């Protein structure tokens, strides 16, 4: 298993991690197969989305905050229920095809680490097959 850390800067943060994942794939020696990228946290997730227009990420945060507001009369004692729900919506893992040692993402696609309870130091785990 390969891994790296991500330092988030705010409560909600979308961090592009293509280069870090590609470097870990390179170090692993995986040439052809699939890499699973897993986020081992309950208040953070991962998504594949557009990398060309930064307003897409801004809009994603806006929609998530409208749908799941931070304050909502939740019962969870830590006070971060919204972060748990948003992380569940994004998901904890994605798979990306690797061909000739390179991630096979579409022209406008990137991998984004999704922070919903930051700032924090987080981990990203990867395993290739």
Choose among 37, 33, 25, 38: nearest CA to 129: 33
Q: Is the pLDDT of residue 2 over 90?
A: yes
Show me where the domains of the chain are located: 2-128
The two structure tokens encoding residue 7:
């330092």
Could you tell me if 72 and 85 are in contact, meaning their C-beta atoms sit under 8 angstroms apart? no
Please state which CATH class domain 2-128 belongs to.
Answer: mainly beta
Output the pTM of the full model.
0.95
| 54-98 tens-digit pLDDT | 999 999 999 999 999 998 899 998 889 999 999 999 999 999 999
């Amino acid at each position: 298993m390969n891994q790296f850390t991500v330092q988030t800067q705010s409560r909600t943060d979308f961090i592009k991690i293509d280069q870090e994942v590609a470097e870990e794939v390179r170090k692993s020696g995986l040439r052809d197969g699939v890499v699973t990228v897993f986020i081992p946290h309950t208040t953070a997730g991962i998504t594949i989305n557009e990398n060309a227009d930064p307003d897409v990420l801004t809009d994603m945060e806006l929609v998530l905050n409208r749908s799941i507001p931070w304050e909502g009369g939740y019962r969870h004692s830590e006070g971060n229920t919204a972060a748990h729900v948003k992380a569940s919506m994004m998901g904890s893992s994605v798979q990306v095809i690797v061909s000739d040692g390179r991630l096979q993402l579409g022209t406008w696609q990137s991998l984004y680490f999704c922070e919903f309870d930051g700032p924090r130091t987080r981990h990203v785990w990867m395993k290739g097959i």
